Structure 1
Amino acid sequence: MKPGDYVLNLIKDAPKNRRTIALIRHSKRESFNGIPDELRDSVGITEEGIVMAREFGEAMNQIPSVKRLLLGHTIAKRAEMTAQSIFDGYCSESQARILGCEPTITSPVVNLDNLVKVRNTFGWSNLIIKWLDEKIPGNTLRNPYEYTDETLRNVLHYPGLGRGELLIIVAHDITLFPLIYSLFGENVKSIEFLNGIVISADTNIAEISFVDAKNTFKTERRIS
């Protein structure tokens, strides 16, 4: 499976008479080595990451049910570059538009200094486990369930997305970990570049799916 294939397959299977929303991790990024934590939003994607994202966009052309493609991203450079590279690969400017930082995907980090201290104490993987178990104070990371509710509300109520249209939002693994845990009850250990959740929504119900090499999850959530 190539990066992004799980999401592409879910999009292909999405009902044509619904809105489709994909919230995905960015493409392969440059190393964080030597980059202060407060400057990590400035880290972009690698040349390989650009190719991966462009190929993802090219594959979108093989999904005839997509009437229009909208691309949003977080403020991080690697998310913006991924969205632009997907757009470049899609190469159908009349049927695609980059929205910028819309809809709003906020960071779950409340205090970066506190986060760095906790990460240095427990390590990244154990930090995520403790966070999802609600054992990290709210002055460091937001409650994962509250964060999931806000994120889903922001994407599901984004205006201007019609039936048969696709909204892809490029975010981060720290965005997706709490959503996957809150929605499916599973703590996945890692999320591949360009993988994420796919939402198929009508007026009242959102069907939400996630697939990787080990898991296949699907659930429904009422839109309120």
Structure 2
Amino acid sequence: MKTDKGSAFIGRKRPVRGQRGIFLVPTVQLSISTVVLLFIGRGFLKLLAAMARRPIATMIVAVLVAGWIAWGPVTLLTVLGITALTTVAVVMTWRYADPVSYGKWFRAPVRSRWRRRWVYGRNWQPAMVLTGLARTVNDIEYAPYVRRVHSSNRRDLVQISMLAGQLPADYLAVADQLAATFGAVRMTVRRDSDPSRVWLDFHKTAELAALPPLDHRPRRSKSSVA
């Protein structure tokens, strides 16, 4: 369809219920400036949505921008350097003063978040597809969802939501492939109190891998983590 210079037509094809074929939705002629403003507005709305989903990151960026404007780059870098050194000193003091609480409230949560994002988050979808645990329905791909990750030096406990029609035995059948994908020497499967969920226990060390498989009887989530 021809358009005049400085304008554009917006429209799309939609099926009509009860009729064969398609028809063209009536187009609207807009100026190029209007189209540009619409794209800018759409990008701004996406930015607001991203900020709402990540409030902590948004707050950090806002504080940095405010510090840059109020103090300038040199003062801001000095404050950030002092804050970083103080934080490291506090964490190291905490580590040696009370190793138990440090491991429970700092090291374990940080390790768990790190491995969920950088180990399981990046490799999860390809692993589900290549092991046959993902399914495609009506050209839409569905994959099991990672709900939690509890990581320690010796094992990773990964709680997932299974797809409809799947059983824990489906994951046990590809345990060796999943263990090799995520850098474990062995993987066992453990049921959750919710029948639609399951725990994947990735053993990182040979000592733990030599232990007998975990009990597959239904348990509560808290007892499963322990």
- Work out which of the two has the higher radius of gyration on C-alpha atoms and give 1 or 2: 2
TM-score, normalization by structure 2: 0.24
Between 1 and 2, higher relative CO (CA 8 Å, sep ≥ 6) is seen in: 1
Q: Say which structure is richer in helix.
A: 2
